[in-house]
Amino acid sequence: MLDWLIDPLKLDFMRSAILIGILMGILCAVVGSYMVVQQMGMMAHAISHSILAGLPIAFVMGISLSVGAFVAGVVSALGLAWIQSQSRIKLDTAMALILSDFTAIGVTLLSVLPGANKLDLMDILFGNILGISQGDLIMTLAITIAVVIVVKLFYKELLFYTFDPLGAQADGLPVRWYHLGLIVAMTLTVVASLQTVGALLVIAMLVAPASTAYLLVRELHLMMILGSVIGVSGSVIGMYLSYHLDAPSGATIVLVVCGFFLLAFLLSPSQGLLTRPEVKEPTVRFFQRMINLQRQ
């Protein structure tokens, strides 16, 4: 058992991967908590696909892929808001349009721009946490620290805006800036997740730990704390399982955090499917009968 825990830590790339997984567990849980409460999961899904449009341009220009991804993500989110405000189109329809359009732009640019086809699309879509660089680790650390500090400083205002946006606007709070700030935070989280779980799986990391905590606690700050614990645990356990089972790291991490959600969905003391009175009482009576039969 001790060798099972120590062997992966002997490798430099595993230590780096576990460390960035811990950072991602915290970052995704903090940002994801606001997403879950405000029902912005599909917007993050649209942003995660839209960043594909910025990667070929950044690659050809010789600048950081993270910069291209961030710009494309913010532009797509602003496009969503603009379409919704200037037409009768609903947000879900606008998200479907933006998601498909930006994905198509990215795929087209990969073929059209000279040299852009050298980008590894599989790593972008599914991540490669074992191939992270020191720069990736520093960037993720910086984004995590920045997001946590901002949430700490503006927690009361964000709490007010999250649960009562109309009341916050009537009270004079700059709700548009808070909305833009959440979009920027989501985009930064998606950008930071590209190397770990990839554009397709980042939504699970944003939603699963926060949703699991949402089923177990009621306060937003407790939701972020518990979600961080779940995200970190899922990342570490997923890395160990991927090492010993020789499985894809990003996908294994996602399966673990989704497994935590399934347990909470079934067994949450207040909202669990199996702990509801109409299910719990017959189940308890059944097991009591089985125990009595065995005793006889």
Instruction: Evaluate whether residue 1 is within a structural domain.
Output: no
Instruction: Evaluate whether residue 169 is within a structural domain.
Output: yes
Instruction: Evaluate whether residue 273 is within a structural domain.
Output: yes
Position 295 confidence tier, pLDDT thresholds 50, 70, 90 = low
Mean pLDDT calculated for residue range 56-67:
84
pTM: 0.84
Q: What range defines the domain where residue 118 resides? A: 13-295
pLDDT, tens digit, 9 for 90 and up, residues 150-162: 999 999 888 888 8
Q: 296 pLDDT exceeds 70?
A: no
pLDDT for 232: 94
C-alpha angle with apex 188: 180 to 164, nearest 5 degrees? 35
- Give the max Cα distance, the chain: 80
Contact yes or no for 60/114 (Cβ under 8 A): yes
Instruction: Evaluate whether residue 5 is within a structural domain.
Output: no
Percent of the chain with pLDDT over 90: 23
CATH number of the domain residue 286 falls in: 1.10.3470.10
Q: How many Cβ atoms from other residues are within 10 Å of residue 162's Cβ? A: 16
C-alpha radius of gyration, the chain, whole number: 21
Instruction: Evaluate whether residue 68 is within a structural domain.
Output: yes
pLDDT, tens digit, 9 for 90 and up, residues 205-263: 899 999 999 999 989 999 999 999 999 999 999 999 998 898 888 889 999 999 999 99
End-to-end CA distance of the chain: 40
Contact yes or no for 131/195 (Cβ under 8 A): yes
Distance between CA 287 and CA 279 in Å, rounded?
Answer: 13
Q: 284 pLDDT exceeds 70?
A: no
pLDDT, tens digit, 9 for 90 and up, residues 9-48: 888 888 888 998 899 999 999 999 998 888 887 777 788 8
Cα 208 to its chain centre, rounded Å, is: 7
Count of structural domains, the chain: 1
Distance between CA 131 and CA 11 in Å, rounded?
Answer: 13
